[in-house]
Amino acid sequence: PRDPHPWPEGSEELILAGGCFWGIERIAWQIPGVHTTSAGYAGGYTPHPTYEEVFSARTGHAEAVRVIYTGGEDTLRALLTEFWQQHDPTTANRQGNDVGTEYRSAVYWTTDVQGEVVRVSATRYQEALDSAGRGAITTEIAPVPTYYYAEDHHQQYLAKNPFGYRCHANTGVAFPRD
């Protein structure tokens, strides 16, 4: 039988939401060990939502990126470092001028080990934010919900439109180095 997952053996999945999915997707592409990404919707209650439905803020979904990666905890930590630094996890339902539940910050993990690494990274980043006098992280951290692929024109959007929109606010606070 054909393997339903065409990515390398040992790959892991993580879903990240931090504003417009196009920018989060581009951030993930820069991390060694990332095999593929897709833009989609996660964390809501409407099955098979469309962009227009998600944008209406009536579905509960966030614009999200499914990241398939290899490299275990090293790649996961690199992804999380960039995730925390490249958006503002202290603003609930907002990134820059993008406002609404679809722009909320979230990390959805697929294994207990991932969940622990995510929680530790959030704690470490909160400590850095506290030292900088910034607010509390509002990021939703939870096991992976059902993920729905976004429409084709959203997939790999910034690869097709390199100067396209990628709104991401950030705190200006670096993730603490080991």
E strand or H helix at 1: none
Considering the candidates 15, 16, 17, 20, report the single residue annotated as catalytic.
Answer: 20
20 is catalytic: yes
Which parts of the chain are beta strand (E)?
12-18, 34-42, 62-69, 94-95, 98-99, 105-109, 140-143, 147-149
* Assigned token pair, 111: 């294994």
Alpha helices in 72-168, H assignment, sequence order: 72-85, 112-131, 157-160
Distance CA 78, CA 60 (A): 28
Which residues are catalytically annotated?
20
